[in-house]
Amino acid sequence: MDLKLLEKEFFELVNIGIALTSEHEIDKLLEKIVTEARKFTSSDAGSLYIKEVESLRFMVAQNDTMDKRLGAGSGKTSFRPFSLPLNKKSLAGYVAVTGKTLKIDDVYLIPPDSEYLFNRDFDIRNNYRTKSMLILPLLDADEEILGVLQLINSINAEGEVIPFDDYYVKFVQCLASQASVAIKNAHLAIELKKAHLNTLMHLSVAGEYKDNETGRHLKRIFSISGIIAANLNIQTDAVDLIKYSSLMHDIGKISIPDAILLKPGKLTPEERKIMEQHTIKGAEILNDPTSPILTAAQIVALNHHEKFDGTGYPNKLKGKDIPLSGRIVALADVFDALISKRCYKAAYPIDEVLKIIKEENNKHFDPEIENSFFKSLEHIIDAYEKNKD
Amino acid sequence: MDLKLLEKEFFELVNIGIALTSEHEIDKLLEKIVTEARKFTSSDAGSLYIKEVESLRFMVAQNDTMDKRLGAGSGKTSFRPFSLPLNKKSLAGYVAVTGKTLKIDDVYLIPPDSEYLFNRDFDIRNNYRTKSMLILPLLDADEEILGVLQLINSINAEGEVIPFDDYYVKFVQCLASQASVAIKNAHLAIELKKAHLNTLMHLSVAGEYKDNETGRHLKRIFSISGIIAANLNIQTDAVDLIKYSSLMHDIGKISIPDAILLKPGKLTPEERKIMEQHTIKGAEILNDPTSPILTAAQIVALNHHEKFDGTGYPNKLKGKDIPLSGRIVALADVFDALISKRCYKAAYPIDEVLKIIKEENNKHFDPEIENSFFKSLEHIIDAYEKNKD
């Protein structure tokens, strides 16, 4: 191999590392790992498994030949998701258990008394011929197995399947190490976000403890707000913020005296005025300009009782002056209140609920939000059923 | 350059990328970036700046010559922390503003009419001779400047200072890109953790809203628990968990009826029994086996009123049967209650507070925890003063 080519390959490898570790969305990252590894080795196909407790979960499959056969633009080759047991019998299992790299020139020539065997199911089902393979463990810095990367059918300039070049193995092992760091980092970020969400959920539930809330109401508001928001052509991050914020919409109730919060009968006008303060108190509690999530939550807490026609509280805002998240959570909250049984009222039948919501179109609710609500009605009712009290 | 050497350099570069992106602690990471870049280029010295809003903050300095002069084991060369203005006048500033790499064979030969100038202060103060320099921008994937890496005095096999090799510039630029990804990832993780902590803090304060809490009590408990824990020879992560957990020690008060929680006078024995339930209710609220932080917080909520001699509540646990975090927060909480003014009592003078705490040694409090408390008493009083009501 000449110096210039070697240099090119190496800089490519370094840049792949940079690209992989810059990608934080796990699904995109795993696809990118397979894409880059295939490009680097001119492989016709590739796949990736992630190690779970006692199995290997199949996560990514790419196959140029199949894609061409199914026609351009058909997108990804469709594979059924499956898991492999974590033992030496399969090729990927062998690599995951031993941590060794396998380089096989023709998998059909693996002797039947070998420790590992090639499973021809995919080939038979799809009339494909798997021949050369390079199978690498994805190891983190502590040599823990995170998964397995499989590269299939190295293709030469003439388009023929050839064995993987020995020289490349070291390169691809480097690539696998870079991929492992990226996967580990992405997982860590997911864990951190999950922990954060979990905390929000628990403490929001705590805020409604005296209402005897089980947290199901909040889980429903969370899902329903998310479904409505997702229909609105806004960014995923914005949808997430609205979902998380919705959890804290009633946190201000913490400040309402028990005598009013827990009063069984109807509230007097004065009591109602105090009760309505939960929007303002909530905004006070959540006031933190340095935190995007708390700022978003503050907006929801303050505005989820505003009405589209300007008759809501606390600020009698009108129309699009009400922040989007407030308009979304307003509908989610009322829907959930109507459809659920509460200590002071029976559950309304779904037809009745939808009738009321339609009547409130352009009055209590923003027509755009109603539109988005009805667009995914089935999905919303599912979300309700899943967390029914 | 021959093929074998080139190959070695390249694999080194890839491995540096892996090592950097695996390091999540920002301080260690920044040191590692300078160390690896210096090793790679045989530089006598190196430093790193991080870009802040309108300045460059000096973060890392390494200098072999100075270290040798000051004697082995003296640790790092001591530099005064400082910030550079973000303009083209300094070398680092020029690189940060323009995004260009500077390679200078002798900084003393920079013409006086040059856009950028070398500042000889360090050299004069330390009798050092800075000669060759390689100064690189740390750019993220969007070409945003994160900081500047400075390599100083490339050393040849004979120990002489020589210009940086042109050939290496591309390599070191790659290294800088890898470093940038690692810095960006570390910053993201810090942001996520901060957001989480912020949320915990706010919602914990919300939990004490009816007590008219400003959050200062919680901030004090947070700091004081942290100081006590840090003296105990446990891991940093464990100290952090105890600090965060301490925030939620009283979250169960959310469930206590206003009539008891806010009663001005003394509680009757029955009321006291209900009040004591805040430990158990808190543990209920925080129950989430999937979350390490909530599990840790649950332990604190349940156990912060246990006493070392077994006379506490709710489980009358004794001695080391009380979880460590519970023993720590118990002392922090009582200290803070005694030293602070509350609506129903004046603040005790510090001598009185310490006398009471000493009297409770081996009774209310674990002697080991008291020991740790008194070891950092000054620091603890500082923490109290900083967040005094």
Q: Are residues A215 and A321 in the same domain?
A: yes
Q: What pLDDT digit, counting tens, does each position of A123-161 carry?
A: 999 999 999 999 999 998 788 899 999 999 999 999 999
Q: 3-class secondary structure for chain A?
A: CCHHHHHHHHHHHHHHHHHHHHCCCHHHHHHHHHHHHHHHHCEEEEEEEEECCCEEEEEEEEEHHHHHHCCCCCCCCCCCCCEEECCCCEHHHHHHHHCCCEEECCHHHCCCCCCCECCCHHHHHHCCCCCCEEEEEEECCCCCEEEEEEEEEEECCCCCEECCCHHHHHHHHHHHHHHHHHHHHHHHHHHHHHHHHHHHHHHHHHHCHHHCCCCHHHHHHHHHHHHHHHCCCCCHHHHHHHHHHHCCCCHHHHHCCHHHHCCCCCCCHHHHHHHHCHHHHHHHHCCCCCCHHHHHHHHHHHHCCCCCCCCCCCCCCCHHHCCHHHHHHHHHHHHHHHHCCECCECCCCHHHHHHHHHHCECCCECHHHHHHHHHCHHHHHHHHHHCCC
Q: Are residues A113 and A260 in the same domain?
A: no
pLDDT value for B78: 58
Residue of A nearest to B291 (CA): A195
Between A19, A209, A286, which is nearest B255 by CB?
A209
Q: Are residues A97 and A41 in the same domain?
A: yes
Q: Are residues B181 and B202 in the same domain?
A: no
Q: Are residues A109 and A205 in the same domain?
A: no
pTM comes to 0.76
Between A10, A207, A288, which is nearest B10 by CB?
A10
Last residue in a domain, options A138, A154, A184:
A184
**Domain for residue B284, yes or no?**
yes
pLDDT value for A72: 58
**Domain for residue B358, yes or no?**
yes
CB contact under 8 Å between B254 and A209, yes or no, is yes
Last residue in a domain, options B150, B185, B220:
B185
Q: Are residues A139 and A56 in the same domain?
A: yes
Residue of A nearest to B176 (CA): A18
pLDDT value for A292: 83
pLDDT at A212 exceeding the cut of 70: no
- Chain A hits for B251, CB-CB cut-off 8 Å, are 203, 206
pLDDT at B2 exceeding the cut of 60: yes
Q: Are residues B227 and B122 in the same domain?
A: no
Over residues A254-258, the mean pLDDT reads 88
**Domain for residue B192, yes or no?**
no
pLDDT value for B39: 94
Q: Are residues B170 and B219 in the same domain?
A: no
Q: Are residues A229 and A130 in the same domain?
A: no
- Residues of A (103-122) whose Cβ lies below 8 Å from B: none
Contact B270, B285 (CB under 8 A): no
**Domain for residue A192, yes or no?**
no
CB count in 10 Å sphere of residue A321: 13
Q: Are residues B145 and B225 in the same domain?
A: no
**Domain for residue B190, yes or no?**
no
**Domain for residue A109, yes or no?**
yes
Domain count, chain B: 2
What is the complex's ipTM, to 2 decimals? 0.72
Q: Are residues B21 and B102 in the same domain?
A: yes
pLDDT value for B237: 87
- For B146, the enclosing helix (H) or strand (E) is strand B145-155
**Domain for residue B191, yes or no?**
no
Over residues A230-259, the mean pLDDT reads 91
CB neighbour list of residue B160: distance below 8 Å, 6 or more residues apart: none
Q: What pLDDT digit, counting tens, does each position of B74-101 carry?
A: 555 556 678 999 999 999 999 999 999 9
Q: Are residues A157 and A227 in the same domain?
A: no
Average pLDDT, chain B: 90
CATH number, residue B314 = 1.10.3210.10
- B216 or B369, higher pLDDT: B369
- B284 or B290, higher pLDDT: B284
Over residues B187-204, the mean pLDDT reads 82
**Domain for residue A193, yes or no?**
no
Between B6, B11, B202, which is nearest A294 by CB?
B202
Q: Note down the domain range covering B376.
A: 197-386
Give the orientation angle of helix B216-230 with respect to helix B236-246, to 10 degrees. Answer: 160
CA–CA separation, B86 vs B57, rounded Å?
10
Over residues B237-245, the mean pLDDT reads 92
Last residue in a domain, options A150, A184, A218:
A184
What sign does the dihedral A238-A287-B225-B254 (CA atoms) show?
negative
CATH number, residue A164 = 3.30.450.40
